[in-house]
């Protein structure tokens, strides 16, 4: 339904935009616009009923699109912890900063960009990073996942399930030793610098 409402909103806004641009550029004249309106008004009752229901559908789909867009923007940005004495809110950006600082001391990765999402099943964390050294990826990611999971369980408790995904965006390995050997083997031309 959300896809249909998006599609109808885009269609209606595009149609209105094309008509307004056409009028301003003189491509569509007032008389053409009047003739279109007269053709729509002169439709028989069955065609007018179909046109009316189509209009209602577009209006409802557009309202649904705006409602879902506003719900998406007001999505929870914090984890709420219930205690005996009250509630504690931990913002997702604070958790992202904690993960970034916690992993910044690892020399194997750089450009760490964590993203924390609250889902029905629990908390999902996506960590994007650049790999700087040759590592066994399964062992390396298991270490990072265990480290972050333990840290978060200490912080917020074990009530929520924690899912951690590590995405390597780039592998930036240092130049290996064989290139240095090739540079040394290059023969220098005598009297080149004179």
pLDDT digits (tens, 9 = 90+) for 148-171: 889 888 888 787 788 888 888 888
User: Is this model's pTM higher than 0.85 or not?
Assistant: no
* Structure confidence at residue 72 (pLDDT): 57
CATH superfamily of the domain spanning 78-171: ANL, C-terminal domain (3.30.300.30)
Question: Which residues have C-beta within 8 Å of that of residue 57, sequence separation ≥ 6?
Answer: 8
pLDDT tens sequence across 30-45: 888 888 878 877 778 8
The rounded distance, in Å, linking the Cα atoms of 129 and 172 is 11
The rounded distance, in Å, linking the Cα atoms of 167 and 145 is 12
Least confident among 54-58, 67-71, 127-131, 173-177:
173-177
The rounded distance, in Å, linking the Cα atoms of 93 and 110 is 19
* Structure confidence at residue 10 (pLDDT): 74
Q: Answer yes or no: is pLDDT of 101 > 70.
A: yes
- Residue-by-residue DSSP string for 59-123: HHHHHHHHHHHHHHHT---EEEEE-SS-EEEEEHHHHHHHHHHHHTT-TTEEEEEEEEEE-SSEE
* Structure confidence at residue 81 (pLDDT): 78
The rounded distance, in Å, linking the Cα atoms of 65 and 58 is 10
* Structure confidence at residue 178 (pLDDT): 45
* pLDDT band per the 50, 70, 90 thresholds, residue 5: low
**Which is more confident, 133 or 101?**
101
Contact between 72 and 117 under an 8 Å Cβ cutoff? The reply is no
Can you give the residue ranges of every domain in the chain? 2-73, 78-171
* pLDDT band per the 50, 70, 90 thresholds, residue 20: confident
């Amino acid at each position: 339904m959300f896809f249909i409402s998006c599609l109808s909103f885009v269609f209606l806004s595009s149609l209105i935009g094309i008509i307004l641009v056409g009028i301003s550029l003189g491509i569509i004249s007032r008389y053409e616009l009047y003739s279109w309106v007269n053709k729509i008004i002169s439709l028989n009752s069955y065609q007018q009923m179909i046109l009316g229901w189509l209009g209602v559908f577009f209006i409802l789909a557009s309202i649904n699109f705006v409602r879902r867009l506003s719900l998406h923007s007001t999505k929870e940005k914090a984890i709420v912890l219930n205690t005996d004495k009250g509630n504690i809110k931990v913002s997702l950006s604070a958790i992202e900063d904690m993960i970034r600082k916690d992993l910044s001391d690892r020399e194997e990765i750089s450009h760490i960009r964590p993203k924390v999402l609250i889902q029905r099943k629990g908390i999902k964390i996506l960590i994007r990073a650049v790999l700087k050294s040759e590592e066994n990826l399964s062992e390396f990611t298991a270490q990072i996942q265990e480290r972050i999971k333990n840290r978060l369980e200490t912080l917020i408790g074990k009530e929520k399930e924690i899912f951690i995904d590590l995405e390597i965006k780039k592998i930036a390995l240092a130049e290996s030793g064989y290139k240095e050997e090739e540079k040394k083997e290059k023969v220098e031309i005598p009297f080149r610098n004179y």
